[in-house]
Amino acid sequence: MVRPRVSNPDLDLYQSGTLVRLVGVNTGYGASTVLFGVDFEARVGEVALVTGPAAAGKTTLTHLLRLALPPRSGRTVILGVDVARAGPDVRAEVKRRIGYIAEDPVFVEHWSAFDNIAMPLRMGGRRARDYHDDVRELVDFVGIGEAADLPVQQLSGAERRRTAIARALASKPQLILADDPTANMSPADGRRVARLLAEMRRVGAGVVICSQDESLAECAQMRRWRIDHGRVTQVDEAAPQAEAEVE
Amino acid sequence: MKGEPIGFDRALFWTLVFAVFAAVAAGLGARVVDRLATGYQEAATNYAVVRVIAPEGPYAVAAAQVALSEAPHVSSAAPMTRGRAAALLRNWGGAPANADELPDLSLIELELAPATPGADVAGDIVAALAQAGVTAEVIEAPADGASANMAARVRTIASWGAVAFGAVMAVIVWLAARGLATRRRELVTVMCDLGATRAQAASRIGDEAAMLGLSAGGAGAVLAVIVAVVLLLLAAPEVSLQALPAMIRPLDFAPLVAAPMIAALAAGLGARAAAGDIHAQAARLG
């Protein structure tokens, strides 16, 4: 017997390829509001580049999208879930489908980069012999090579950033959030990282990059957004999507 | 997930070892007090010595023994040999006595049945002997109720004191384990970022702390046992290692079993609660 399908507009939105939709969202910390009436969207197979000056609200937008900061008003639908109405377990489940690259990534410092990268896979219940090759592949993909076996506390800033990228990609997330991923990198390293992230749209992920560096837009085709004083505006109307669909 | 032992963990481990060692030592101390008090209580209430005054001679002692076997309150009666008397004198701190040089003491040792409260045990025994034509006196009468109560009170105080001390040690373990969770803050934060629920993060840290508590508890208990055995052998040279198993009662194992388990529980709960708090802070920035 076929069950009648219960209409869920949030899920429908997700299945139509919209990974993130913010409508009139306000949020902030304590008594201060940082984001005002934000309208934003990220789609599958697309890279959204959000640029703006320091203290414009980029990191706050990232925290909102990674479900660390609750919206105060407006509508926030991420991966088919209205996060304002979701309970802690549902929010945690959504977070497991998001790869987050912080501006200053947190690691278990005395573990090796390899072990840090493998952490999402261990949390998912996979055993070392099952994920070893996948993690090695990621290590090669982000180009940290031999450094993967060193404790993270011994890595350079660029190596740490690449380790964070590899960790964010390990669980094959549907949405990748990168907060200033090229900060403190040489222009060449920065472009390489931006290209790495942009590559992820080809495997069906949506990518949101928040950065001060507007030149990242030259690295790949991206939908560009501008954030200033907590207000987000779309710079260009559309960006070509990679040929991928939400499973 | 792996976590290499680091300096803080070693310090925490030895803190837990010490706490469990102290708790087990207190528990074993309470058991020793309990057994000494029980021995005293039994000796004080169930033991008496009768001296036969008249007639004199070994036949009188034999007649008194027969009469005592029928006397109220008496479970058993046995004439005191010279060897036994010499041993008692030594125990009571007297000058070393040669059994062969002791005079005929005309003493009979009695093991008494539990008496009803208010019963005149000595009077009843003397009366029973008088009926058999033996004049005697009870020279070491069973203790009165107050002495027996004092022994019971000492046992209770020792037991509850050990429990209270163990509870204080458990609180120390609980607080120390919260320190472990604080040390694992970065792991909890990363787990939170990667989508672990509060319960998952708390369990991860709580389980680690519980295992640490159990292993440290085991080490502390073993250490306490070693120290206890050494002290016992020093304090009572007549006790041999071979004789020890026969002296141990099942209840003596209670502190050894309970302390490591309580340490594991307290450490697990302390770390779990702290890890949950850290996860909550990481999960909701606003």
Output the pLDDT for position A246. 41
- CA B267 to chain CA centroid, nearest Å: 26
| Contact call for residues A29 and B285 (beta carbons, < 8 A) | yes
Give, for A82, the enclosing helix (H) or strand (E).
strand A81-82
- Residue A115 with chain B: CB contacts under 8 Å: 1-2
Q: Is the pLDDT of residue B90 over 80?
A: no
Q: Is the pLDDT of residue B277 over 70?
A: yes
| Contact call for residues B16 and B212 (beta carbons, < 8 A) | yes
HEC per residue, B91-111: HCCCCCCCHHHCCCCCEEEEE
Q: Is the pLDDT of residue A124 over 80?
A: yes
Q: Which of the two residues, A12 and A102, has the higher pLDDT score?
A: A102
Q: Fold for A8-97+174-238, please state it.
A: Rossmann fold (3.40.50)
Contact B284 A96 (CB under 8 A): no
Say how far apart CA A82 and CA A75 lie, in whole Å.
7
Burial class (CB in 10 A: 0-12, 13-18, 19+), A186: exposed
Instruction: Report domain extents, chain A.
Output: 8-97+174-238, 106-172
Q: Is the pLDDT of residue A244 over 50?
A: no
Confidence of residue A1 (pLDDT cuts 50, 70, 90): low
Output the pLDDT for position A19. 94
| Contact call for residues A169 and A181 (beta carbons, < 8 A) | no
Output the pLDDT for position A57. 93
- Residue B186 with chain A: CB contacts under 8 Å: 106-109
Query: Token pair of A126, please?
Result: 């996979």
Average pLDDT, chain B: 85
Q: Which of the two residues, B96 and B4, has the higher pLDDT score?
A: B96
Give the whole-number percent of chain B exceeding pLDDT 70. 91
Q: What is the mean pLDDT of residues A85-95?
A: 91
| Contact call for residues B46 and B141 (beta carbons, < 8 A) | no
Contact A69 B194 (CB under 8 A): no
Using the Cα atoms of residue B250, residue B252, residue B253 and residue B255 in order, give the sign of their dihedral: positive
Q: What are the φ and ψ backbone dihedral angles of A28, each rounded to 5 degrees?
A: 175, -165
Confidence of residue A247 (pLDDT cuts 50, 70, 90): very low
Confidence of residue A216 (pLDDT cuts 50, 70, 90): confident
**Looking at this predicted complex, what is its ipTM?**
0.83
HSE-CB of A128 using CA atoms within 13 angstroms? 5
Global pTM? Answer: 0.73
Give, for A14, the enclosing helix (H) or strand (E).
helix A9-15
Confidence of residue B94 (pLDDT cuts 50, 70, 90): low
Contact B196 A92 (CB under 8 A): yes
Q: Is the pLDDT of residue B24 over 80?
A: yes
| Contact call for residues B44 and B243 (beta carbons, < 8 A) | no
Give the whole-number percent of chain A exceeding pLDDT 70. 93
Confidence of residue B246 (pLDDT cuts 50, 70, 90): confident
Q: Is the pLDDT of residue A245 over 50?
A: no
Output the pLDDT for position A5. 61
Q: Is the pLDDT of residue B93 over 90?
A: no
Average pLDDT, chain A: 87
Output the pLDDT for position B96. 66
CA distance B223 to chain A (A): 32
Output the pLDDT for position B164. 95
Nearest CA in chain B to A27: B286
Say how far apart CA B271 and CA A110 lie, in whole Å.
20
Confidence of residue B286 (pLDDT cuts 50, 70, 90): low
Point out which residues pair with A226 in neighbouring strands: A51, A233
Q: What is the mean pLDDT of residues B266-283?
A: 93
Contact A115 B2 (CB under 8 A): yes
Confidence of residue B7 (pLDDT cuts 50, 70, 90): low
A26-40, A167-181, B68-82 — which is least confidently predicted? B68-82
Q: Is the pLDDT of residue A110 over 70?
A: yes
Bridge-based pairing state of the strands A73-78 and A18-29: antiparallel
Q: Is the pLDDT of residue A240 over 60?
A: no
Say how far apart CA B158 and CA B140 lie, in whole Å.
28
| Contact call for residues A105 and A152 (beta carbons, < 8 A) | no
A93 CB neighbour count, 10 Å cutoff: 15
Q: Which residues contact A105 (CB under 8 A, 6 or more apart)?
A: A160, A161, A163, A164, A167
Say how far apart CA A136 and CA A185 lie, in whole Å.
24
Q: Which of the two residues, B65 and B247, has the higher pLDDT score?
A: B65
HSE-CB of A229 using CA atoms within 13 angstroms? 0
pLDDT in tens, B168-214: 999 999 999 998 999 899 999 999 999 999 999 999 999 999 999 99
A124-133, B2-11, B234-243 — which is least confidently predicted? B2-11
Say how far apart CA B118 and CA B129 lie, in whole Å.
21
Confidence of residue B138 (pLDDT cuts 50, 70, 90): confident
Contact A108 B186 (CB under 8 A): yes
Residues of A numbered 43-82 whose beta carbons fall under 8 angstroms of chain B's beta carbons: which are they?
Answer: 63, 66, 68-70, 72
HEC per residue, B130-173: HHCCCEEEEEECCCCHHHHHHHHHHHHHHHHHHHHHHHHHHHHH
Output the pLDDT for position A239. 53
Contact B190 A109 (CB under 8 A): no
Contact B186 A115 (CB under 8 A): no
pLDDT in tens, A220-237: 788 999 999 999 998 875
Give the whole-number percent of chain B exceeding pLDDT 90. 37
| Contact call for residues B180 and B205 (beta carbons, < 8 A) | yes
Picking from A68, A88, A98, the nearest residue to B198 by CB comes out as A88
Q: What is the mean pLDDT of residues A156-181?
A: 90
